[in-house]
A = this chain, B = another copy of it.
Amino acid sequence: MRVALSKSENELLKSIYRQGRDNGRVHTGVLADLLGVAPGTITAVVKRLAERNLLDHNPYRGVELTQAGRRAAVAVMRRHRIVERFLSDMLGYAWNEADRLAGSFEHHLPQEVEDRLYVALDRPASCPHGFPIPPPDVAEIPEMPPLYSLEPGDVATIAVPGSTDASVVEFLGAMGLRPSVRVEVKEKHPFDGPLVLEVDGHMRTVSEKVARQIFVKTEELFEERI
């Protein structure tokens, strides 16, 4: 890993990491859609990355991150989340605005500045969306299950992805369902029915569809971390 990766290389690693959590192998077409770029472009970037042993490329059959690739991908996510924190904590952006802007300049930030930023922000444990900021140099970020996977009695802290559409974000806001908020599942209606939660003393109902777009850090994971 002699020289720094370019912006598109970094973005590609991130996308592969996210897509490949369970699937393992990721197809270039998926990546092209995800990054909004022509299919040929992905192949070109993939080739350079495979050259550097950051991923395995099985022509016509998909790509998979190597250990080094996973580490690089996680580093990209770490940086992204630190920059988001900077945008929200220091510049006053709302949590749902930070995502968009961070992507536009995070790749050019020197490592040194990222490190100082992390310290200046007081070593935050999570980004404004509620996702954890991993330690440097790890190859995995703890998986966060969807809110809908919880059962009555479970308690968890929620995270809301930056990709959530604006109307949903507004709806969640009205119910106090903001990142890093603690919730307890009270009821889960059968047959993909809605979830009833206690949020900040209030009872709230969310549909299955919405509860699959929200992710959670459960108590056990929470404790481990302390």
Contacts and interface: CB of A to CB of B under 8 A. Distances in A.
B104 A116 contact: no
10 closest A-B pairs by beta carbon, nearest first, are A108-B108, A105-B108, A91-B116, A91-B120, A105-B109, A104-B110, A90-B120, A101-B113, A101-B110, A90-B90
For chain A, give the interface size range. 10 to 19
A49 interface: no
A105 B101 contact: no
Contacts of A223: none
Interface in A101-117: 101, 104-105, 107-110, 112-113, 116-117
17 contacts: A87-B113, A90-B90, A90-B120, A91-B113, A91-B117, A91-B120, A92-B116, A92-B120, A93-B116, A101-B112, A101-B113, A105-B105, A105-B109, A105-B110, A105-B113, A107-B108, A108-B108
Contacts of A109: 105
Nearest to A115: B91
A90 B87 CA distance: 13
Interface of A: 87, 90-93, 101, 104-105, 107-110, 112-113, 116-117, 120
A80 to B, nearest CB: 14
A101 B104 CA distance: 18
A26 B86 CA distance: 40
Contacts of A108: 104-105, 107-108
Contacts of A105: 105, 108-110, 113
A97 to B, nearest CB: 10
A105 B113 CA distance: 10
A91 to B, nearest CB: 4
